[in-house]
Structure 1
Amino acid sequence: MQAMVYRGPYRVRVEEKDRPSVEHPNDAIVRVTRAAICGSDLHLYHGLMPDTRVGTTFGHEFVGVVDEVGPSVERLRPGDRVMVPFNIFCGTCFYCARGLYSNCHNVNPNATAVGGIYGYSHTTGGYDGGQAEYVRVPFADVGPAPLPDWLDEDDAVLLTDALATGYFGAQLGEIREGDVVVVFGAGPVGLYAAKSSWLMGAGRVIVIDHLDYRLAKAAEFAHAETCNFTEYDDIVVHLKKITEHLGADVAIDAVGAEADGNLIQHVTAAKLKLQGGSPVALNWAIDSVRKGGTISVMGAYGPMFSAVKFGDAMNKGLTLRMNQCPVKRQWPRLFEHVRAGYLKPSDIVTHRIPLEHIAEAYHIFSAKLDGCIKPIIVPDGR
């Protein structure tokens, strides 16, 4: 099969790779019809995620058609159209029984925190991802769900991570009616978090970023107020000024959804931009919420060696809530919102790129070229 293959930082290409096979009776093999590049894939692309091995296929956002099933699979048949959450989970462990699918205890031998994730290095289990023609899907009776007939594939692929994660981020903020919500980062997850905040009762939504084309999308898609932090000496002071000098009620850190910069910049936090490995945005969130406020963190943070203002968070009485999104738990409500027309996930898609050109897609997305907000990858070119 054709698959995207990692060859080192900033080096990806399409290669011939062995088609995956059933390795366990509960496996399914899915022919991918839509995939996407997630902002958190850029951590891998930039070489910032530990144990990202040469030869790995990325991609944790994908939908497709069941091509083959293992002998123990009962709920899926070849030919079924399915959407696959980015979490790989067993469905029966202590955490899965509580709906914490992203923390499954049985699918990742390399960590005690996060469970398994498709195409996201050996720190999350070493599973190949869906930026390919075919992908192996473990626990096929647990994770995948039938793709509803009324749901377009371009919308469905965004429910496998980006929309679900943005919605989850707004949930974690415990937004109350009339709350002022500030969202750091206007990438796909930040856009969805801002849009979802209105659904949960926000009275005001403010989005912070440094790219004008993404802020324009935040105003258009999420109907949010926007601030380009490069235009202010201190974005925290500005946020205090426009919130009656109290601060926002809720801050959502969606920065990790759009990694940027090199390892030294991430370690030292010397480059004061919104970055996945720097605590700058998290510290802005801590400083910009009011006392007693709530911070929701969805950014895919890696190791950080510079200080987080934890003492300030404690002294302000802040509530910090965070996790990888348990995607499948969000789907029933999101299906309702999408079907009712409150959300149209594909409205943020800017590029549809054939799998054979995925190296160019990564370059465009990483370098913020051509107004790129969300690229979808089409394995068969259609």
Structure 2
Amino acid sequence: MKALTWQKKGKITCESVPDPIILDGRDAIIKVTACAICGSDLHLMDGLMPTMQCGDILGHETMGEVVEVGRDNKRLSVGDRVVVPFTISCGECRQCRWENWSCCERTNPNGKQQAETFGYPLAGLFGYSHITGGFAGGQAEYLRVPYADVGPIVVPEDLSDEQVLFLSDIFPTGYQAAEYCEITPEAEKTIAIWGCGPVGQMAIRSCFLLGARRVIAIDEVPERLAMAREGGAETIDFRTHNIQETLIEMTDGQGPDAVIEAVGMEAHGADTTAQKIGSAVMSAATLERPFALNQAILGCRPGGIVSMPGVYAGALGPVMIGALMNKGLTLRTGQTRVQKYLAPLLERIRKGEIDPSFVISHRSASLEDGPELYKKFRDKTDYCTKVVFRPHGVAA
């Protein structure tokens, strides 16, 4: 089969690789009908995630048709149309019972190695380095899904692939980030969001779904800022405006009640002289850069919430922990507990409350286009906001 593979820093290729096979009774094999490039895949492309190996198959936003089921999997049947969460969860350990699906204690075969970095093993992830299990990803024609009796959700035929594909990651991720802000219609909260990429866009819509009064979105890419405004957000272009000063002005000195940092380890931009010096030093050293996180901490009103869906791999440059502590802020973060949100968010799509396909800018019926589309997405050229592949050439 064809698959998109990581070769080395900056190099993604489409290769012929062996078809996946059933390895455990709870497995399933799906024929991939749609898959996407996620913003966090760019961290892999840029060499910022450790333990990637040449030839690793990428991708963790995947859906398709079940073509084979392991003997112990009683939940799925051949022919089922499913969306696959990027987190691999057993459904039986204490973390899964607590609905902390992304903290599953059993599904990462390299958990001992991961514990050396994080203290404990966490859930395996599709296509996201060997420290998260070394599982083949879904930017391929076929995918083996471990623990397939727990993760995938069967989706109705009257919804298109593009409407439901992002249940695999970015829609639940944006929704969880918004939910962490403790939004209710009665609270009339103002939420500020750093980053108007796909997760940021889903977070904007999710904030309004939950009842936010205002959303202020921050970015520098014109098409992303325009998309944010289409979703109801007010926007700040940090190329032309000082973020902190503008937030204070827009909120009459009160500040946002909660903030969402949807950028992660490759943030750019700084307001103050100290931040600009740190930006130059850390960029030169290729360290993970907490600029967006620091701006979010600074921008949140005292006593507010900092929600952080942005991905980080390890140690950061200087974080404004003093501001976090002295302002009495609550920091909430974590890989998305996708399984918790699958059914309720599918129902929101079915009811017409949201159509997540709005974020798609580029479509391809061939994985051969993958390397070039990775570059466009990374470099934000050709108005690229989200890429979806149809590996078997079926029209969207």
Q: TM-score range by the shorter chain?
A: over 0.9
Match of 1:350 in 2: 361
**In structure 2, C-alpha distance between the alignment counterparts of 1:94 and 1:342, rounded to whole Å:** 33
Deviation at 1:270, TM superposition (A): 2.6
Match of 1:366 in 2: 378
Deviation at 1:151, TM superposition (A): 1.9
Number of matched pairs: 374
Structure 1 window deviating more from structure 2 (326-335 vs 37-46): it is 326-335
Residue 334 of structure 1 aligns with an amino acid whose one-letter code is: L
Contact 1:166 1:192 in 2 (8 A): yes
Contact 1:252 1:296 in 2 (8 A): yes
Contact 2:167 2:346 in 1 (8 A): no
Match of 2:387 in 1: 375
Q: Closer, same or farther in 2 for the Cα pair 1:89/1:3, shift >3 Å?
A: same
Match of 1:39 in 2: 39
1:165-314 counterparts in 2 under 5 A?
Answer: 165-176=173-184, 177-220=187-230, 222-232=231-241, 234-256=242-264, 259=266, 269-270=279-280, 277-314=288-325
**In structure 2, C-alpha distance between the alignment counterparts of 1:248 and 1:218, rounded to whole Å:** 17
Q: Closer, same or farther in 2 for the Cα pair 1:276/1:182, shift >3 Å?
A: farther
Q: Is 1:148 paired with 2:148? A: no
Structure 1 window deviating more from structure 2 (199-208 vs 301-310): it is 301-310
Partner secondary structure for residue 181 of structure 1:
strand
Deviation at 1:10, TM superposition (A): 1.4
Deviation at 1:138, TM superposition (A): 0.4
Match of 1:89 in 2: 89
**In structure 2, C-alpha distance between the alignment counterparts of 1:178 and 1:186, rounded to whole Å:** 22
Contact 2:267 2:290 in 1 (8 A): no
Q: Is 1:7 paired with 2:7? A: yes
**In structure 1, C-alpha distance between the alignment counterparts of 2:391 and 2:315, rounded to whole Å:** 36
- Flag as ranges the 4+ runs of structure 1 deviating above 4 A: 258-261
Which 5+ residue runs of structure 1 have no aligned equivalent?
262-267
**In structure 1, C-alpha distance between the alignment counterparts of 2:203 and 2:102, rounded to whole Å:** 19
Q: Closer, same or farther in 2 for the Cα pair 1:284/1:211, shift >3 Å?
A: same
**In structure 2, C-alpha distance between the alignment counterparts of 1:30 and 1:271, rounded to whole Å:** 45
**In structure 2, C-alpha distance between the alignment counterparts of 1:358 and 1:191, rounded to whole Å:** 23
Residue 175 of structure 2 aligns with an amino acid whose one-letter code is: Y
Residue 19 of structure 1 aligns with an amino acid whose one-letter code is: D
Deviation at 1:309, TM superposition (A): 0.8
Partner secondary structure for residue 34 of structure 1:
strand
Deviation at 1:115, TM superposition (A): 1.2
Residue 371 of structure 1 aligns with an amino acid whose one-letter code is: Y
Contact 2:267 2:289 in 1 (8 A): no
Match of 1:265 in 2: none
Partner secondary structure for residue 33 of structure 1:
strand
Contact 1:272 1:280 in 2 (8 A): no
Match of 1:56 in 2: 56
Contact 1:40 1:259 in 2 (8 A): no
Residue of structure 2 aligned with 1:119, choices 101, 118, 127:
127
Q: Is 1:329 paired with 2:329? A: no
Match of 2:117 in 1: none
**In structure 2, C-alpha distance between the alignment counterparts of 1:329 and 1:311, rounded to whole Å:** 33
**In structure 2, C-alpha distance between the alignment counterparts of 1:260 and 1:286, rounded to whole Å:** 14
Q: Closer, same or farther in 2 for the Cα pair 1:114/1:244, shift >3 Å?
A: farther
Percent identity, aligned pairs only?
42
Which 5+ residue runs of structure 2 have no aligned equivalent?
115-119, 269-277
1:94-126 Cα distance to aligned partner (Å, 9 max, x none): 100011111100011232253111000011111
Q: CA RMSD in A?
A: 2.0
**In structure 2, C-alpha distance between the alignment counterparts of 1:344 and 1:116, rounded to whole Å:** 28
Residue 319 of structure 1 aligns with an amino acid whose one-letter code is: T
Q: Is 1:133 paired with 2:141? A: yes
Structure 1 window deviating more from structure 2 (323-332 vs 52-61): it is 323-332
**In structure 1, C-alpha distance between the alignment counterparts of 2:210 and 2:81, rounded to whole Å:** 31
Partner secondary structure for residue 248 of structure 1:
coil
Contact 1:27 1:139 in 2 (8 A): yes
**In structure 2, C-alpha distance between the alignment counterparts of 1:276 and 1:235, rounded to whole Å:** 23
Q: Closer, same or farther in 2 for the Cα pair 1:197/1:153, shift >3 Å?
A: same
**In structure 1, C-alpha distance between the alignment counterparts of 2:123 and 2:69, rounded to whole Å:** 23
Match of 2:275 in 1: none
1:234-280 Cα distance to aligned partner (Å, 9 max, x none): 31121112111121101001112x9468xxxxxx643899x993111
Contact 2:83 2:164 in 1 (8 A): yes
Deviation at 1:149, TM superposition (A): 2.0
Deviation at 1:359, TM superposition (A): 0.6
Partner secondary structure for residue 195 of structure 1:
helix
Contact 1:279 1:304 in 2 (8 A): no
Structure 1 window deviating more from structure 2 (28-37 vs 172-181): it is 172-181
**In structure 2, C-alpha distance between the alignment counterparts of 1:75 and 1:152, rounded to whole Å:** 22
Contact 2:260 2:308 in 1 (8 A): yes
**In structure 2, C-alpha distance between the alignment counterparts of 1:27 and 1:11, rounded to whole Å:** 31
Contact 2:88 2:151 in 1 (8 A): yes
Deviation at 1:302, TM superposition (A): 2.0
Q: How high is the TM-score relative to the length of structure 2?
A: 0.91
